Amino acid sequence: MPQRPELTAVGDLAFSCRSLSVEVSTKSGPKRLLAPLDFSVKKGEILSIIGTSGAGKTTLLRVLGGLVPPMPDSEVLAAGVPIQGPPDRVLMVFQDYASSLLPWRTIRKNVALGLETQYHGEELRDRVDAALDLVGLKARGDEYPWRLSGGMQQRVQIARALAMEPAVLLMDEPFGALDAITKSSLQDELLKVHEQTGATIIFITHDVEEAVYLGDRVLALGGVPGKIIEVLDVDLPRPRSQIMTKEMPEFLRLRHRAYESVVEAELRLRTDQ
């Protein structure tokens, strides 16, 4: 594991957010979804975000992905540049794979979606194959996504993002709709991909165990509007293993802490209301 220096230069940050807040207008006037948040994400790290529902996890991710504008007084930088629209090489992986894959395109053509204008012919084919290879779906390329199981469809979505050689993957509960076995095998695949590509990954989940298992850090959001309850450093060795890692006392300690902060967030939510 690379040493993490205490002071990180702006150039080493995938994201830096100062007083990031989000408001939406509703019938009963403006509603704040995220209280001012200050945090940053280092390049190449995996940041897990957990929290109660309604704490603005998805909103936060959509701000980072350039799909939702923050309040004007927020300072949100992606690789040092203020976010205006989706930043370059920052790609989102959505929870609802069925509605974000294009059902009229084969898997290969789905993966080619972002590459088609840049590459053609053999080059395009090679890149698509390489991305499919990363998720172990090369042999399935000519099928339609709806013929595959949920886990495989989510892999296609991940391959489609990886084909773009992303610097950052923003994943919104990507494994939330999958069964436990598929979920753990996809977790390990994601860690493998992370090792191979070095991409920064921000990963939303409501599964505390998953957050600790995958993350270099775990950020707990809570309350309405969402605030940062706690940021935990996860100093578990990599590569991680579903059995070994999850039996380590440090893992158990971190899981305990993470649960506590979610419970605390819940309590805070009740007192807020």
Partner 1 sequence: MSETMAIHLARTPAKKKRWYARWNWTGAATTLVLLILWQLCDQLGLIHFAYIPSPLQIVGGAVQLLQEGALQAAVAHTATVAVIGWAIATLIGLILGTIMGLSKTVWTWTAASVEVLRSFPSITFVPLAVLLFGFSSSMELVVVIYAAAWPVLVNTLEGVRTISPGLRDVARTFHLSVWRNIRSIVLPAAASKIIVGLRLGLNLALILALAAEVIGNPEGLGYGLTVEQQALQPARMFVYFISVGVLGIILNAILQLIVWWTLPGITALAERGRKS
Interaction between residue 44 and partner 1 (CB under 8 A)? no
Part of the chain binding partner 1 (CB under 8 A), chosen from 8-16, 29-37, 48-56, 137-145: 137-145
Beta bridge partners of 34: 22, 226
Query: Whose Cβ is closer to partner 1: residue 10's or residue 102's?
Result: 102
Part of the chain binding partner 1 (CB under 8 A), chosen from 5-13, 119-127, 136-144, 201-209: 136-144
Query: Whose Cβ is closer to partner 1: residue 111's or residue 236's?
Result: 111
Query: Whose Cβ is closer to partner 1: residue 33's or residue 212's?
Result: 33
CA triplet 23, 232, 2: central angle to 5 degrees?
115
- Number of residues in contact with partner 1 under rule CB under 8 A: 34
- Report 161-220 residues binding partner 1 (CB under 8 A): 164, 182
Query: Whose Cβ is closer to partner 1: residue 202's or residue 236's?
Result: 202
- Report 1-30 residues binding partner 1 (CB under 8 A): none
- Report 69-128 residues binding partner 1 (CB under 8 A): 85-86, 88, 90-92, 94, 96, 99-100, 102-106, 109, 113-114, 116-117
- Report 48-67 residues binding partner 1 (CB under 8 A): 65-67
The footprint of partner 1 (CB under 8 A) covers 65-67, 85-86, 88, 90-92, 94, 96, 99-100, 102-106, 109, 113-114, 116-117, 140, 143-144, 146-149, 151-152, 164, 182
